[in-house]
Amino acid sequence: MTEPQTVQWFPGHMAKTRRQIEKSLALVDAAVELADARIPVSSRNPELAGMLANKPRILLLNKCDMADPAVTSQWLRAYQAQDLRALPVDCRSGKGLREWRGEISALLADRLAACRAKGMVGKPLRLLVVGIPNVGKSSFINRVCGGARAKVEDRPGVTRGNQWFRVDATLELLDTPGVLWPKFEDAVVGQHLAFTGAVTDRVVDVEWLALCLLETLSAHYMPLLTARYGVEPAAPDALLCEIGRRRGMVVRGGEVDTERAANMLLSEYRDGKLGAITLERP
């Protein structure tokens, strides 16, 4: 196996986004954080918890259609133990999104009651939608805004580029200002983000990445590898060769084109063809 690689990270970008998010938080009642249900740790920026500490928030475990349902349930129990409201959702199909409005009402029940008591009715609730790139923020906004994204006019005093969307008369969403970078410095986080395609694999060696993926999959999901490729348990490099050989990726001299096999494995994993897989456990 080649040397571990890390993905380059630029702290400057994070500092700017942190400032933008902190400003935006003053404009909203609560935050909706999206994470990738396949990698609930690596797809959440750890700095966000601090930034959102004083806001009611809800966590949406998105792409749950591609995650292992048993592990998703474990995550939900873990969040419940931490008093964090979390919901599994699939923003591509809309599954799970029927429940989220109820969760928001429950989350903001005190605030809504206080507003009613003061006779302040009719003011829409405002929510900040946050998450790292590719986690499904646009899909979520599109889904809950009913297809045609109803963009609200630019508001004075709001950073240019802040995007407001109207769900209905009672609810408005603000898209993450800036780019909330994932936490790349941790090698495993970088790897998991590259497995799912959240970061481009142009920045890492594809064969190395595929070997890392095989190491993880053979530990937890060997039956899925066997079902898809007909391979038996073996070391990652032997598995990659066997997968390539079984797919006819043999070059002159009878050698397996492992780069091609690696690309195929990663792309089939990302397309969910191997099955429902979660790479991180509570």
Q: With binding defined as CB under 6 A, does residue 135 bind ligand G4P? A: yes
- Min dist CB 180 to ligand G4P, Å, is 9
- Min dist CB 252 to ligand G4P, Å, is 35
Q: With binding defined as CB under 6 A, does residue 44 bind ligand G4P? A: no
- Min dist CB 134 to ligand G4P, Å, is 5
Q: Is residue 217 within 8 Å of 191, Cβ to Cβ?
A: no
C-alpha to C-alpha distance for 270 and 282, rounded to whole angstroms:
22
Residue in 38, 44, 57, 63 binding ligand G4P, rule: CB under 6 A = 63
DSSP letter assigned to residue 184: T
Q: With binding defined as CB under 6 A, does residue 133 bind ligand G4P? A: yes
C-alpha to C-alpha distance for 211 and 2, rounded to whole angstroms:
9
Q: With binding defined as CB under 6 A, does residue 149 bind ligand G4P? A: no
Residue in 17, 20, 45, 62 binding ligand G4P, rule: CB under 6 A = 62
Residue in 90, 172, 207, 242 binding ligand G4P, rule: CB under 6 A = 90
Residue with tokens 């966000």: 48
The residue (of 5 and 134) whose beta carbon lies closer to ligand G4P is: 134
Q: With binding defined as CB under 6 A, does residue 136 bind ligand G4P? A: yes
Q: With binding defined as CB under 6 A, does residue 131 bind ligand G4P? A: yes
C-alpha to C-alpha distance for 94 and 222, rounded to whole angstroms:
30
Q: What is the CA radius of gyration of the chain?
A: 21
Residue in 74, 134, 159, 216 binding ligand G4P, rule: CB under 6 A = 134
C-alpha to C-alpha distance for 14 and 151, rounded to whole angstroms:
26
Residue in 17, 20, 72, 139 binding ligand G4P, rule: CB under 6 A = 139
C-alpha to C-alpha distance for 140 and 132, rounded to whole angstroms:
13
Helix (H) or strand (E) holding 19: helix 11-25
- Min dist CB 4 to ligand G4P, Å, is 27
C-alpha to C-alpha distance for 220 and 201, rounded to whole angstroms:
23
Strand partners, 164: 174
Tokens standing for residue 188: 């495993």
The residue (of 105 and 267) whose beta carbon lies closer to ligand G4P is: 267
**In the complex, which residues of this chain contact ligand G4P (CB under 6 A)?**
62-63, 65-66, 90-92, 131, 133-139
